Amino acid sequence: MRALCLIDDGVLEIQRRTLPELRRGWCRLAVRAAGVCSSDVARGFFGGARRWPLVMGHELAGEVVEGIEGLPAGTRATVFPLLPCFACPPCAAEEYALCGSYDYFGSRRDGGFAELLDVPAWNLLPITEGVSFDDAALCEPLAVVLHALDRLEPGEGELAIVGDGFLALLAVAVLRRTRPGLRVTVLGRHPGKLARAAALGAEVVGPEGAE
């Protein structure tokens, strides 16, 4: 298979790789879409990689080509990129994000910037035919936004979002559907992103403080 490998700071190379024998309880996924996170940029170009060579990519979706019972070949799925140890106290409490010995696709181990990726069945979330692979690859950042909004529990008054990055835009899109009566204002500095926030239904404030 082909994989886009980070071999040094700012140096990417397409390599041919052979996958090992598929492990018990794992599935082989043909990657159909993979997003580029800002952490991938930092990892690839600003000294943030834990090791070289590294196949980045933790926002991904694809199609199972070698599966198991319940996840047969042909299953369309997105990937939960965190690999808990399942042995520490947080894992016992199902607080997997607090795992002290976790692994992670695209940073601590090779990820989705490749044609194929072996993934534990536990980490695969099937998607319906109505969801595109491109949209399904956004499940990880969308989950971050939904978690933050659940903790915030916005009502029907006003909410300001500081920053106009991708997660902010996702938050606006979610809030427009779930809290149509909420006034949402995005404070940012990138005209193109602010224009997108406005198109999604937010009020915007630019660098000079003018809407």
Q: What is the pLDDT of residues 79-105, one digit of tens each?
A: 999 999 999 999 999 999 999 999 999
pLDDT of residue 116: 98
What value does the mean pLDDT take over residues 124-133?
96
pLDDT of residue 209: 54
pLDDT band at 24, cuts 50/70/90? very high
Q: Return the biggest CA–CA distance within the chain.
A: 59
pLDDT digits (tens, 9 = 90+) for 172-181: 999 999 999 9
pLDDT of residue 11: 97
Does residue 210 have a pLDDT over 60? no
Cβ contacts of 167 within 8 Å, gap of 6 or more = 141, 144, 145
Cβ contacts of 23 within 8 Å, gap of 6 or more = 118
pLDDT digits (tens, 9 = 90+) for 55-68: 999 999 999 999 99
Does residue 3 have a pLDDT over 70? yes
pLDDT band at 170, cuts 50/70/90? very high
Determine how many CB atoms are found less than 10 A away from the CB of residue 159.
19
Question: CA separation (Å) from 53 to 7, 31, 102, 115?
Answer: 4, 19, 20, 16
Does residue 119 have a pLDDT over 60? yes
pLDDT of residue 13: 98
What is the Cα–Cα distance from 97 to 84, expressed in whole angstroms?
Answer: 8
* Percentage of residues in the chain having pLDDT higher than 90: 93
1-63-36 Cα angle (round to 5)? 70
pLDDT of residue 154: 80
pLDDT of residue 73: 98
pLDDT band at 37, cuts 50/70/90? very high
* DSSP secondary structure, the chain, as one string: -EEEEEEETTEEEEEE----PPPTTEEEEEEEEEE--HHHHHHHHSS--SSSSB----EEEEEEEE-BTTB-TT-EEEE--EE--S-SHHHHTT-GGG-TT-EEBTTTB--SSBSEEEEEGGGEEE--TTS-HHHHTTHHHHHHHHHHHHHH---SSEEEEE--SHHHHHHHHHHHHH-TTSEEEEE-S-HHHHHHHHHHT-EEE-TTS--
pTM: 0.90
Contact 182, 156 (CB under 8 A): yes
